[in-house]
Amino acid sequence: MGCVILGILIWQVFRPGLLDGDGLGMCVAATSNRYNDWNPPVMSLVLHALIAHGAKWYDLITLAQCVTGCLGIYSLARAVVVFWYEDKLSARYASAAAFAVLLILLSPLFPVMYYLAHFGKDTWAAICLLWIGSVSIRLHMSPVRRPVVFWAVQVLALYALFLLLFQVRYNSILLLPSFCILAFLLLKTIDWRYAILGALVAAVSPFAVDHALHRVFRIERVHAVDQILATELVGMCLMDQRVQEEFPFTAEHLIEPKWRQEYIWGCVEPLMHWWPTGPVVKQGYSMGSHDRLVAEYRKAALEHPGLLARVKAKAFSATLFDDMPFWHHCVIDDNPFGIRLNSRFGKVRNTLLAADQWVQTDRALRWLGGRHLPWLLVTLLAIMILSVRVVQWRSGKIMFTLVIVSMPFLFYVSNALATAHHVFRYMFTATVFVQVCTLAAALGWIFRAYYVMTLLDRGEIAWKVSPTESCCQPQA
């Protein structure tokens, strides 16, 4: 109940919800019933369904985001606490630790509240991944049991969440190996044949659903990936000008000397028509020339893989070490729908934004909640430790944890392979997942220690030192 109340409060403060250019594009598609895949069409389809039923569509969608987001954070945090400290922590303490994680992440130190109130694909992707983690852990801790229908519903929900994640964030397809392994591990408790079938379904279903959506709703393919291909090709020419002659299509579209002066590593903006001083390439290069771009990019990847890798590394590094990346949206862009921020909580929003600005400009605090690098390093450290432990102990619990941690890691990798902008939201999905798991593990340990000390003070357990048993056993 507390999570629902917090979600409603966030929604009330930012009601009807934050809206940027991408969100506006999805709203336009929903009202016109004409779709393309520049932005996730599934989000526009949901909006269209709400509009068709006469609902206050924008209010409902952002309210759902705030509530399900808060519940997702709490649910994943509690699942992590119970998973690691189940036999050493009461249910009440586990719930308290999970709620503490939610309160910390909703503080001004982190941008979570803004993302929950922001109608955007990264918000939906983050909510999906949080629930995927939570449902997976709960399924792992409770293998098939009666009623089987309840367990089966959770498995189907897990598949549905992954399919939705792929539809709202195409780069999440890189998580496919993790999800296939996850499906196999969860279903092998029934039968090996079901496990193999489940993994195969997980591997095929994202592509089948995507194809079906495009066909049924006549979604236009606009090849948004072209902007990244173009940015990396220009970056290769800038890094090593000797290869410029090998890419005639790229070379003929470069605007001298503008492209050398205004190109930004890991950012597609200078190549787009909305760049303030005009794009650094001629019209028709970064958009509308998919086949020629793909052909030239394929040639670059085959003949200069090392150079392309260096461009990708420099682009990703520029994003990670940007001193002041765009942290989050905090307004509603001009729109034809009459959507405006409420005036009732204007002072509250101004106070939050003042605290937000203080965190963002503080040289220490901004690395806690406003940068991805620390959480990427935490993920890498966890991957290395768990990999070693799996080899040493061959533990099913450790193996399952490794698969869970690999999901945010692969999401980071997907952005490293195709860096589009120095915007925090692009990796918010992975970062908030790692933050929830890290805080839950840390607070769970603290609450466990407090719980054990409380039981000792009450005399309900006594110290018992043994080389083979836990040091704390029920008092005889």
Q: What is the pLDDT of residues 51-81, one digit of tens each?
A: 887 667 788 899 999 999 999 999 999 999 9
Chain mean pLDDT for the chain: 91
Mean pLDDT of 14-33: 92
Residue tagged 């970064």 (tokens): 286
pLDDT band, residue 165 (cuts 50/70/90)? very high
The pair of three-digit structure tokens given for residue 355, joined into one six-digit string = 């605290």
Share of the chain above pLDDT 90, in %: 76
* pLDDT score for 470: 44
Cβ-Cβ contacts under 8 Å for 460 (sequence gap 6 or more):
474, 475
Q: What is the pLDDT of residues 372-410, one digit of tens each?
A: 999 999 999 999 999 999 988 888 899 999 999 999 999
Give the span between the Cα atoms of 179 and 177, in whole angstroms: 5
Closest CA to 17 of 68, 59, 70: 59
> Do the beta carbons of residue 275 and residue 282 sit within 8 Å?
no
DSSP track, 333-352: ---TT-----STTHHHHHHH
Closest CA to 43 of 107, 105, 122: 122
Give the span between the Cα atoms of 321 and 371, in whole angstroms: 8
The pair of three-digit structure tokens given for residue 442, joined into one six-digit string = 């840390």
Give the span between the Cα atoms of 63 and 53, in whole angstroms: 17
* pLDDT score for 324: 81
pLDDT band, residue 469 (cuts 50/70/90)? very low
Give yes or no for a cis peptide into 279 (omega within 30° of 0). no
Mean pLDDT of 40-53: 90
Burial of 303 (0-12, 13-18, 19+ CB in 10 A): exposed
- Listed ranges 7-11, 328-332, 356-360; the one with the highest mean pLDDT: 7-11
Please give the radius of gyration of the chain, using alpha carbons only, rounded to the nearest integer: 24
Instruction: State how far the alpha carbon of 280 is from the alpha carbons of 268, 297, 386, in Å.
Output: 10, 19, 45
pLDDT band, residue 462 (cuts 50/70/90)? low
> Do the beta carbons of residue 123 and residue 69 sit within 8 Å?
yes
Residue tagged 């389809």 (tokens): 45
* pLDDT score for 58: 82
SS3 percent helix, strand, coil of the chain, rounded to 5, is 70, 5, 25
